[in-house]
Amino acid sequence: MKKSGILNRHLSGALARLGHTDLVVVCDAGLPIPEGPAVVDLAFRAGVPSFAEVLAGLLDELEVEGAVAAREVQAANPECGALLADRLPGLELVPHEELKALTGRARLVVRTGEARPYANVVLRCGVPF
């Protein structure tokens, strides 16, 4: 049994299959998820697990070379906007509709229980060398 890192076997396995430039969406409980990407749904109850918890765990395990979030997060959910800006230097902000379109190109979507608006980000996988 793993003793550290992400213990959820579905999520851990999905992360192991990712490669350079693959897109991973970390989303709140309300983001529409199109057919196509693999989905690991971690949502249990409203707010559990939080977007911040899941993002922190993923950033510990993934090499990220870029990230995109909805511009609307700044006004509608400033706490999340600040978290994203702090954790993801070079964060690109786009209209929410554009972010939803990017979700269809993702290889993996990780759904959280987050119940605050616009707590969504698209991560572009990098390489550690």
| For residues 35-52, average pLDDT | 97
| Residue 104, CA distances (Å) to 9, 25, 40, 59, 114 in order | 23, 10, 15, 21, 20
pLDDT grade for 101, boundaries at 50, 70 and 90: very high
- Spot the catalytic one: 20, 46, 56, 61: 20
Q: What are the two backbone dihedrals, phi and then psi, of residue 25, each rounded to the nearest 5 degrees?
A: -100, 130
Average pLDDT, the chain: 97
pLDDT at 103 over 90: yes
What was the pLDDT predicted at 98? 98
Q: Strands across the sheet with 64-70, in order?
A: 38-41, 108-111, 23-27, 121-125, 64-70, 92-94
What is the Cα–Cα distance from 28 to 52, expressed in whole angstroms?
10
Containing H/E element for 94? strand 92-94
pLDDT at 49 over 90: yes
| For residues 85-91, average pLDDT | 97
Backbone angle region of 109, left / alpha / beta, with phi > 0 → left and psi within -120 to 50 → alpha: beta
- 59-84 pLDDT per residue, tens: 999 999 999 999 999 999 999 999 99
- For domain 21-125, the CATH architecture is 3-Layer(aba) Sandwich (3.40)
pLDDT at 90 over 90: yes
pLDDT at 104 over 90: yes
| For residues 88-95, average pLDDT | 97
- Burial of residue 9 (number of CB atoms within 10 Å: 0-12, 13-18, 19+): exposed
Instruction: Confirm whether 20 is a catalytic residue.
Output: yes
What was the pLDDT predicted at 13? 97
pLDDT grade for 2, boundaries at 50, 70 and 90: confident
What was the pLDDT predicted at 128? 93
What is the Cα–Cα distance from 109 to 96, expressed in whole angstroms?
16
Nearest-Å Rg of the Cα atoms of the chain is 13
